[in-house]
Amino acid sequence: MPIIHWFRRDLRLADNTALNAAVRDSGGAVIPVFILDDKLLKGRDVAPMRVRFMLESLRALDDGLRRRGSQLLVLRGDPATELARLAQATGASAVYFNRDYTPAARRRDRRVAATLRSAGVRVESFKDLVIFEEDELLTASGQPYTVFTPYKKAWLSRITPIRPQAGDWQLSPLPTLPSSIAVMSHLPSAAELGFADVQGGPKGGEPEAMRLLMQFKDSGALQAYSTRRDFPGIEGTSRLSPHLRFGTISPRQCYAVAVSTLSYAFPAKHSFSPAASDAKKEGADAWISELIWREFYIQILYHFPHADHANFNRAYDVVRWGSGDAALDEARFAAWCEGRTGYPIVDAAMRQLNQTGWMHNRTRMIVASFLTKDLLLDWRLGESYFMRKLADGDPASNNGGWQWAASTGTDAQPYFRIFNPKLQSERFDPDGTYIKRWLPELARVPVEYIHEPASMPPAVQAQAGCIIGRDYPAPIVDHAEQKEEILRRFKAVKTG
């Protein structure tokens, strides 16, 4: 009897836990299916770039399945209804899938499982999206971790050697399906699904994910990650975030490659110390730490689902956001979205996001701090905008990052962590390479003014062909003044 494998955030064949179990348990009689769920496709924060990436990944997945003797069935509709119909039509004994941990995904999966079980279909779910899930890492008192550093220490103390599964198996041909199963004749384009025809952005698919991972390692970027990762003007990151988002690569594959670059023999104890003498070890350690951050935010949203829409730290529910002038706040938010704030590092990052569906992690922190601490706007506005643009938009990581920037989240750092956009720019883009790449109107601005173009004397503005207020905006707020205001608001909560 065949087993249905329901693909979701695991769009790959190698090291796919549920899929490998289905192959093993059915002897290769697996029915691979992906369901285009209109509740997700028509959601408020769906990014056209993310849909394009997903569809490209599905095409690559279908290609891989065809090489293994099968193909991907693509259905459209409610997952509970479609899976129950498919199981009945094929005589499938079970539906296997890998677990997801967001509040919405858990509600959906409980409903799907109940529908299938009531129809006599066995349901099995598997851990795959993360290395440690749900209640696997808890404090000594049995509570979930709410601060990253002790969570990281616990994670590292539990990790064991990982050998990703190859996925080198063959599948039985698909059974003939009745007309009642409305299999899509072709995988639609983003435009056919009603989304804008976006161009560029990250390329999807399992082969591309593996190419990026091996390039990251073989080029030396992984080994140099700790020293290069914070500079948006250079290629110092893996660019694997959208692939981890859609599961075209697994965290186990990433971890195994990182460990393979370490100069000591596993399982020697991880020190993960910034004082480590081995530069290669520092790079691998720093990248593994980012994988742990990802899992930390996933378990936070699992244990504290209210953070999906509210402050993780409810004490800050009384913090007042905005200027008190709705029209002014709307204009400032629009300037932030469009990269017209007059702060070059902020504007360059927002234009990169709008044009490519991706943004460097350092600049994500900068623009998030600017929105919440300089413009005094609610972090939920930025979180939502990112989800409408990012190819790697992940509910847990995006939410965690925004609440970290807004000082409403899990981070133990106090609320007075406020990024100075000019100082951040000078430190992490000293020559203005990144700024000039995304802000061509500043291409001729001298380096000494690139981080604060409004300080250029009129003669220099004329020579650079960049008149402030005409070719590039003056700063829309004064950083020093806004810093004092946000501090006053947070202190009022602390003392109130």
264: phi then psi, degrees, rounded to nearest 5:
-110, 160
CA 140 vs CA 10, 154, 157, 168, 270: distances in Å: 32, 10, 14, 41, 21
List helix spans (H) across 308-457: 326-338, 344-356, 361-369, 379-389, 395-406, 421-428, 433-438
**74 strand-pairing partners:** 34
Q: What is the 3-state secondary structure (H, E, C) of 451-462?
A: CCHHHCCHHHHH
Rg of the chain on CA atoms, in Å? 24
Q: Catalytic residue numbers? A: 290, 293, 321, 361, 379, 402
Q: Residue 488's Cα: distance from chain center in Å?
A: 32
Question: Residue 166 has what DSSP assignment?
Answer: -
| Cβ atoms 110, 123 nearer than 8 A | no
**124 strand-pairing partners:** 96
Helical axes 206-218 vs 48-67, angle rounded to 10° = 100
